[in-house]
Amino acid sequence: MFYQFSHHVTGDHFVKEYGENFSFPSHMHLCYEVICVLEGEMNVSVDLCEYTLREGDSLIIFPNQLHSISSKKSRHMLCIFSPSLVQAYSTKTDGRVPESAIFRPSEYLVNTLDLLNGDEKSFYKKGVLYSLLSEFDKDAVYIPRHSGSNGLLYDIFAFVEKNFDKDCSLSALSKNTGYDYAYLSRYFKKMTGTSFIDHLTLFRLGKACELLVDTDMSVLDCALSSGYSSLRSFNRSFKRHFSVTPMQYRAKSRSE
């Protein structure tokens, strides 16, 4: 299992991919993922659930859900997008996941998603994604995130989501979970393939991106609200990960 950090959590992150006879090992990432099977049959594992998808079926994977894909004969379309693109839905389902992730969207919606190339205006992308999620949501039943064999890992994710804007150190996590901080550091690295600090950094940057795009807060206030203690460290971290300054990112996002 590994953590897929190639999918950034910037406010406008949207990737669409196509594949045939596709398999991918267990992994996680900070984005939503929707898989639409166009032909054939595909097996998908999400947390502790196993699904068999056939032509016309789709499946939604929530942020930080462990999942893998296996297929010997299929053709699919896969869409990965940032939670901030569907902020209202993300807020509504916070701390929960679908009891069943499979659904059958209308042919019209699948075709609309198929035509979406990612270069459209942000509000159009949001409209398409909200329409897709609305179709899923009308019959969905949500449950608290399953602890299962990865209970500690999900406890760590939940801790970061709740405490990213304040003391979110390994020492604070240790007090919260009762585990030694050195053990937690090794455990997280083993389970995700990345360090706790790197995960926290990208999570905070993702929250900062949301504030930069969706509010008129100053860059300093966006930094402080995302857990950074100084504007200098925030600017340096932002530029290192996204190759633009926070102000450049805000200007680009609002010009689309």
Q: Which residue has the tokens 């594992």?
A: 45
Indicate the pLDDT class of residue 149, thresholds 50, 70 and 90: low
**Residue-range domains of the chain with CATH:** 2-144 (2.60.120.810), 148-255 (1.10.10.60)
Look up the pTM and report it.
Answer: 0.76
Q: Which of 117-121, 196-200, 226-230 has the lowest mean pLDDT?
A: 117-121
Q: Residue 137: phi, psi to the nearest 5?
A: -65, -30
Q: Which pair of structure tokens corresponds to residue 166?
A: 């304040």
Instruction: Supply the pLDDT for residue 121.
Output: 79
Token readout for 230 is: 């100084």
Residue 37 in this model has a pLDDT that exceeds 90? yes
Q: How far apart, in whole angstroms, are the C-alpha atoms of residue 207 and residue 49?
A: 29
Residue 225 has what pLDDT? 96
Determine the Cα–Cα distance for residues 137 and 34; give it in Å rounded to an integer: 13
Structure tokens at 209: 């991106």
Determine the pLDDT at residue 169: 95
Torsion 45-60-30-69 (CA) sign? positive
Predicted confidence (pLDDT) at residue 239 exceeds the cutoff of 60: yes
Give percent of the chain with pLDDT exceeding 90: 60
Angular region, 64: left φ>0, alpha ψ -120 to 50, beta rest: left
Q: What is the pLDDT of residue 25?
A: 79
End-to-end CA, the chain? 36
